[in-house]
Structure 1
Amino acid sequence: MKVAWVRSLESCHSECVWSCTWASALLLTGSLDETVKLWDPEDLSLVRTNTGHCLGVVSVAAHPSGKIAASASIDSFIRVFDVQSNNTIATLEAPPSQLWQLQFDPRGSLLAVAGGSSGSVQLWDTAEWKLVSTLSIPTLQPSKPNNHFVLSVAWSPTGTQLACGSMDGSISVFDVQRAKFLHHLQGHTMPVRSLVYSPLDPTLVVSASDDECINMYDAHGKTLFSSMSGHSSWVLSVDISPDGAAIVSGSSDRTVKLWDPKMRAPIQTMTNHTDQVWGVKFQPTGTGTGTLLASVSDDKSISLYNYS
């Protein structure tokens, strides 16, 4: 497995770029300049710009159909829009400091939102755009106040489980159908910025943390079976390749690393960015002989790579 740099685009936004995702063949990026931009990966030409937020965009997510997308902002609003027409479909409001990462479930029927200071994950029905459930995290130590500021969220490939990462380093796992908290996954000592389930193994969760480690867990058995280190600063983003064979990470050390989970070590380091890397994302399904990988950074740039 390897990645090969394809192209980069400098100054793709006027401020730091904190999030990226794929909607079918388009790359979506969210920035502190309050916009979501849609790009053609063939030449990184700008297709359209989605506006409407009045503060920075912290997360973007695409519906499994690729037809709609959602963005979360520091302005406490989620904007849902049509990818092709750019028309607004819904605007969802939350209290201050309660909108962080968001992700659609594999069927596209629910949108999960990491609830920040609420210590919970909110589930929104995508048919009527109504809040249908709030999954609250119980405290690890009953004698102490709940300090689960929720930063990250991830669905299992079956859509039956949901994991979220918190500021205190814990990961919480829920049974979504029963709206029931199952257990905590422990091992990190600092905020968990990013989470992802393996697309091929519904038990495998990979996490990225400010403690400079990437952890791999058995989410069903509650077991930490590997902790990988190699970055020299916070690990801000993580993803797993569509074939399940590789892990990619972005860090405050300005690098993107490709990891072999079997070797439990980095096998490639990309140094295209000049500032911390907030987002890394594989294209869900590859075309031709390779799959595209995107990375975005505080340096306001996008980089694209071929994974094979």
Structure 2
Amino acid sequence: MKLSGLKSVENAHDDSIWACAWVPATENRPALLLTGSLDETVRLWRPDALETFWPSPSTGHCLGVVSVAAHPSGAVAASASLDSFVRVFDVDTNATIGTLEAPPSGVWGMQFDPKGNLLAVAGGSSASVKLWNTSTFELVATLAIPHSEQPRPGDKSGGGGGKFALSVAWSADGRRLACGSMDGTIAVFDVARAKLLHQLEGHFMPVRSLVYSPLDSRVLFSASDDSCVHMYDAEGKSLVSAMSGHASWVLSVDASPDGAAIATGSSDRTTMSNHGDLVWGVAFRPPGGAGVRAGRLASVSDDKSISLYDYS
């Protein structure tokens, strides 16, 4: 993959930017970049020029925003904050559609399923993934992550016990849901049966980010504080490859729409070296939209900046 810097915006937020996601294109507009920051706001950005889409940022939270997600229709998005609320809103008008309440530290990662019927939320100290119906925004299932029988190096809960759910990812076919935990394990669920299938091991520090291959629902990528990115056969429960190109925590991972490449962000400040601090999020633009010919990759950082890259 050939990657080149396209544009960067300094001071895109007033504080560290911890989350980014692309909102898919609709008939009326192109894909938009969604960002969330510790300044308690969410912003939308037009592609390529990185100009703001809303007249002013969304201020629907009273603490820092740690996760954002976009519905596959491109019409709806969600933001999660340290204030223990998930705000669901209309992308074009910024009007609030629903507010989902979670216990303290109960929301860290979230993602809409490929069909847009469910919103999966990593439940932090609840050691679970919560599934919300996107028509009614009612809680429809809680997928519990079993406690560890033995102490693990990454377990911050005091030994063989608690889990802390950090990250979630849906498989491309929507049949599986993966959840990364603070202790380095990854739980894989059969969503239709609301059943834990197995746990993947190999990391020994927090799993901050997960993404399935868009072309193969068996292939799962994980990013961890142990400075490694793993590729798993999530159905066969096997570690396929361990990649170690970073010098410190790997905070984010995403896969290109054609499945040919992955991008990662790290506390070693790298992603084309455009950032001066931790890179908390990377996101490939989804396919679709009038006149779209080139691929785009976005990254966000503790340095308050957004960078956009062209890839081919």
Please state which band the TM-score falls in when normalised by the shorter chain.
Answer: over 0.9
The runs of 4+ residues in structure 1 deviating greater than 2 Å are: 142-147, 286-289
2:116 aligned with 1:108: yes
Identity percentage over the alignment?
A: 66
2:310 aligned with 1:306: yes
Contact 1:80/1:90 (8 A) holds in 2: yes
CA deviation string 1:23-62 (max 9, x = no partner): 1211000000001000112311111121110000000000
Aligned to 1:76: 84
Q: 2-side partners of 1:284 and 1:52: how far apart? A: 26
- Give the RMSD, CA atoms, in angstroms: 1.1
Q: 1-side partners of 2:131 and 2:106: how far apart? A: 13
Q: Structure 1 residues 142, 250: closer, same or farther in 2, change over 3 A?
A: closer
Of 119, 122, 125, 1:117 maps to 125
Contact 1:119/1:146 (8 A) holds in 2: no
Of 245, 249, 255, 1:230 maps to 245
Return the offset for 1:182. 0.3
2:256 aligned with 1:241: yes
Q: 2-side partners of 1:271 and 1:222: how far apart? A: 34
Q: How does 1:52-91 map to 2 (within 5 A)?
A: 52-91=60-99
Return the offset for 1:140. 3.1
Aligned to 1:38: 44
Return the offset for 1:162. 0.2
Q: How does 1:127-206 map to 2 (within 5 A)?
A: 127-141=135-149, 145-206=160-221
Q: 1-side partners of 2:121 and 2:218: how far apart? A: 21
Contact 2:148/2:162 (8 A) holds in 1: no
Q: Secondary structure at the match of 2:268?
A: coil
Q: 2-side partners of 1:288 and 1:70: how far apart? A: 25
Contact 1:135/1:181 (8 A) holds in 2: yes
2:9 aligned with 1:14: no
Return the offset for 1:145. 4.7
2:59 aligned with 1:51: yes
Contact 2:275/2:305 (8 A) holds in 1: yes
CA deviation string 1:231-260 (max 9, x = no partner): 00100000010010101000000001xxxx
CA deviation string 1:171-200 (max 9, x = no partner): 000000000000000000100000000000
Return the offset for 1:307. 1.3
Amino acid at match of 1:98: G
TM-score, normalized by length of structure 2?
A: 0.93
Q: Secondary structure at the match of 1:50?
A: coil
Return the offset for 1:69. 0.2
Aligned to 1:265: none
Contact 2:70/2:78 (8 A) holds in 1: yes
Return the offset for 1:85. 0.6
Number of aligned pairs?
Answer: 295
Aligned to 2:283: 281
CA deviation string 1:134-159 (max 9, x = no partner): 00011231796532100000000011
Q: 2-side partners of 1:217 and 1:145: how far apart? A: 24
Q: 2-side partners of 1:3 and 1:71: how far apart? A: 29
Q: Secondary structure at the match of 1:45?
A: coil
Q: 1-side partners of 2:287 and 2:162: how far apart? A: 37
Return the offset for 1:205. 0.2
Aligned to 2:155: none
Q: 2-side partners of 1:91 and 1:138: how far apart? A: 28
Amino acid at match of 2:212: Y
Amino acid at match of 1:223: S
Return the offset for 1:288. 3.9
CA deviation string 1:184-240 (max 9, x = no partner): 000001000000000000000000000000000000000001000010010000001
TM-score, normalized by length of structure 1?
A: 0.94
Q: 2-side partners of 1:54 and 1:77: how far apart? A: 9
Q: 1-side partners of 2:48 and 2:279: how far apart? A: 22
Q: 2-side partners of 1:84 and 1:137: how far apart? A: 36
| Structure 1 unaligned regions, length at least 5 | 257-269
| Structure 2 unaligned regions, length at least 5 | 25-30, 152-158
Amino acid at match of 1:271: S
